């Protein structure tokens, strides 16, 4: 059995579940099974420095007598077992006599991550919560069958990132030199602030005025202050933006577009 401890979450919003490192297993009785699970529509979950992030866990469940309920859902880091997330409820829709699709709603807030360090965990850094997570669930059938399933899905919880763009001069002469700057930052869950993110590959994209298509025109790497700056020849009016694809523990970021006219 895993060692589980509950503490009150920030402002009483939820409970923080601290789990020991999980071992993959499942137990129960009968033929009820979770046959498919999709977390957050198949995309990773990014958490910034404020605000609650809510995401769904959609489970397709099957039993020969029909599905009665989902009695427990949890999600946590697959390596260290930390899971500052609240399961806020589940709704189920019957699809057939044997199959239901149940959607569990999960919530996470950056304020719930940092308190783990207050428990005296030596060397703890709240950013260790980022990375590969797993979902566990207990499901029950109308005939009394039940199944406690570990790792029915895996997904990533990543630190949020933000990117800025500044292109100038505005307007710029046709075939003149345009400088496009940007700065990349990512969330730090220790102090709940954004800090510069150095050494990251990024892409500069351009969209010609009147077009809907963005094209990558340059690649670069952020410097020690998270900044990037390139010089481009202005051949047409349009908008510029920077794009960061993310890492295993940091989410992607696309800056707001900066439109530049020709003079």
Average pLDDT over residues 35-58: 97
Domain count, the chain: 2
Q: Does one domain contain both 17 and 120?
A: yes
Measured CA to CA, the distance from residue 261 to residue 231 in angstroms comes to: 16
Find out whether 180 and 207 touch, Cβ atoms under 8 Å: no
- 17 and 143 in a single domain? The answer is yes
**Statement to judge: residues 123 and 198 lie in one domain:** no
Query: DSSP string covering 212-234, please?
Result: ---EEEEEEE--TTSEEEEEEE-
Co-location of 153 and 166 in the same domain: no
Do residues 111 and 230 share a domain? no
Residue 201, number of CB atoms within 10 A of its CB? 12
Identify which of 255, 193, 181 has the alpha carbon closest to the alpha carbon of residue 222.
181
Rounded to an integer, the average pLDDT of 79-97 is 95
Domain boundary among 158, 191, 223: 158
* Residue 21: predicted pLDDT: 38
Residue range of the domain that includes 208: 161-260
Same domain flag for 63 and 169: no
Domain CATH number, residue 216: 2.60.40.730
> 203-259: per-residue pLDDT in tens?
999 999 999 999 999 999 999 999 999 999 999 999 999 999 999 999 999 999 999
- Conformational region of residue 78, where left means phi above 0, alpha means psi within -120 to 50, and beta covers everything else: alpha
Question: 132-171 pLDDT, tens per residue?
Answer: 999 999 999 999 999 998 899 999 999 999 999 999 999 9
């Amino acid at each position: 059995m895993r060692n589980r401890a509950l503490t009150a979450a920030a402002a009483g919003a939820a409970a923080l579940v601290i789990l020991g490192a999980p071992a993959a297993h499942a137990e129960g009785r009968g033929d009820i099974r979770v046959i498919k699970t999709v977390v957050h529509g198949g995309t990773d979950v990014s958490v910034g420095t404020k605000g609650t992030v809510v995401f769904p866990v959609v489970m397709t469940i099957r039993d020969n007598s029909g599905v009665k309920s989902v009695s427990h859902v949890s999600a946590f880091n697959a390596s260290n077992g930390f899971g500052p997330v609240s399961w806020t409820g589940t709704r189920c829709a019957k699809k057939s006599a044997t199959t239901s699709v149940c959607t569990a709603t999960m919530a996470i807030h950056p304020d719930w991550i940092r308190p783990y360090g207050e428990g005296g965990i030596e060397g703890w850094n709240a950013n260790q919560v980022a990375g590969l997570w797993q979902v566990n669930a207990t499901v029950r059938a109308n005939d009394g069958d039940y199944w406690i399933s570990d790792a029915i899905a895996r997904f990533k919880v990543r630190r949020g990132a933000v990117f800025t763009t500044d292109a100038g001069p505005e307007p710029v002469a046709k075939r003149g030199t345009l400088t496009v700057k940007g700065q990349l930052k990512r969330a730090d869950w220790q102090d709940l602030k954004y800090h510069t993110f150095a050494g990251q590959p990024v892409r500069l994209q351009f969209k010609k005025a009147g077009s809907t298509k963005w094209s990558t025109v340059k690649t670069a790497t952020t410097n020690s202050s998270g900044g990037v700056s390139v010089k481009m020849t202005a051949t047409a009016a349009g908008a510029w933006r920077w794009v960061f694809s993310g890492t295993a523990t940091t989410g992607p970021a696309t800056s707001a577009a900066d439109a530049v006219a020709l003079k």
